[in-house]
Chain A
Amino acid sequence: MQKLGDFKLPHFFNYPPYFTLQPVKDTRQKQVQLWKELILDYCRTQKIFVIGLEDDFPLFSNSAIERSLSHEARDIFLSGLVSDGRAEWMDKGHKKCLILWLRIQDWADCILRFVKDNGLEDSVMTVEEIRSGIESRGTELHGMHRTVLMRALRMLEQKGKLAMFKGSSADDEGVKFSA
């Protein structure tokens, strides 16, 4: 089985026709589903948050079989993820896609768990600390994409679980977790 680093690639990745958009409806449906699952899985294990359509994203081509996904195919698969609520386009031109291998709600739950596990109720942290501080090491929060983190924090703010405020430096925002 082929591997991309540590990641085990599914069998269809080595079957040339999967790199061509299939015209028959049922076949196309299956193709899109397989690709969506693959992209999500890969991003989850590699902690990838953004895919640029024109980038050399490893899944977009397979040199072993000399095939690559056309721009149209890439767009269709990623748009599929967007429809499923597992991704968002970052621009109108569909050049960059934010991958939500965990939904915002799931990220919010992660943050709440993090707060509980570290006894951070009623304390303050900067946004940056949440994603790169010592406490977050070993958790899913570590290395999180800032945009995704901000969205999750905002969601929690609306639910009254924390309050956001601007820090003294222009750089960062702070978070006060509720008791």
Chain B
Amino acid sequence: MRRRPGIGGLQTAAATRDQYRLVGENVARIKTDLMKEQLATFRSQLEDFARKHKNDIRKNPTFRSQFHEMCAKVGVDPLASNKGFWAELLGIGDFYYELGVQIVDICLATRSLNGGLINLQELCNLLCQKRKAARESVTEDDCLRAISKLKVLGSGFEVISVGKKKLVRSVPTELNKDHNEILDMAQGQGYVTVEEVKRRLSWSSGRAIDALETLLEEGLAMIDDGHKDGKRRYWFPCVSFVTTS
């Protein structure tokens, strides 16, 4: 279109822009509609899939984990609410809710033995034992998912990493960096001595004893004076398996 000078020219330019804008909006709207349609199709296919495989999802941990991955990719959270399609159809919300309750039970039951800090592996083992009758086994993955839901409820549950292990904390005890380092060291033999702590971490006596005594007071450590070398050992139930054989 030939540009014309003057007011007329400006008006034409404006009208042209408008027209382009309209076309652009149309295109966008068509794209959005298409997308919505695709998503609706996908969603109904996903729902069909879930319906068909409901049992597998409940009974098979590997399958369940892959299902979650798939949902995550599409931005669907089957655990988002306890009502609605997903929860009702799959009872997945219920599944994790149930798991959460069992986890709380186990943590409470073992608290006096480990001070409120339990090895994720041990927790998982105890859970599987509890669920043996229903023949619904769970993986550490499931536990972590259930615990993250528990966190949302503000129940004070948290998963902390110490070295290579994951520990589940069910008490409000805050562990600082010093405590973490001791727990990490304890994973080797299940215990540490003041000497070892001082030597390997290059700490002063005061710092080592302070940290160990705090862990002792919190119920996370137990003393052992029975070794023939006469050195006091601090054992950490949360890094060993104290409740299962």
Q: Smallest distance from the beta carbon of A102 to chain B beta carbons, Å?
A: 28
- B200-244 interface (Cβ within 8 A of A): 216-217, 219, 222-228, 233, 235, 237, 240-244
A1 on the interface (CB 8 Å rule)?
yes
Q: Among A16, A18, A26, which residue has its beta carbon within 8 angstroms of that of B112? A: A26
- A12–B243 Cα distance when bound, in Å, is 8
Q: B224, A20: Cβ atoms under 8 Å?
A: yes
Q: Are A30 and B112 in contact (CB under 8 A)?
A: yes
Residue of A11, A19, A29 with most partner-chain B CB within 10 A: A11
Indicate whether A64 reaches chain B with its CB closer than 8 angstroms.
no
How far does the Cβ of A76 sit from chain B's closest Cβ, in whole Å?
A: 15
CA–CA, A17 and B114, complex, Å: 12
Given known A17-B235, A66-B228, contact A22–B242 (CB-CB < 8 A): no
Contact B242 A12 (CB under 8 A): yes
- How many residues on chain A are close to B (CB under 8 Å)? 19
Could you count the A-B residue pairs with CB atoms below 8 Å apart for me: how many are there? Answer: 53
Query: 1/0 contact trace for B102-122 toward A, CB 8 Å?
Result: 000000000011010000000
Asked whether any CB of chain A lies closer than 8 Å to the CB of B176, the reply is no
**Alpha-carbon distance A29/B111, docked complex (angstroms):** 13
B245 within 8 Å of A (CB atoms): yes
Residue contact A68 to B226, C-beta cutoff 8 Å: yes
Q: Give min CB distance, B23 to chain A, whole Å.
A: 74
Is the CB–CB distance between A19 and B226 below 8 Å? yes
Sample (29) of A-B pairs whose CB atoms are under 8 Å apart: A1-B245, A11-B241, A15-B237, A16-B191, A16-B224, A16-B226, A16-B227, A17-B222, A17-B223, A17-B224, A17-B233, A17-B235, A19-B224, A20-B222, A20-B223, A20-B224, A20-B226, A22-B223, A23-B223, A24-B217, A26-B219, A27-B112, A27-B219, A29-B112, A30-B113, A66-B226, A67-B224, A67-B226, A68-B226
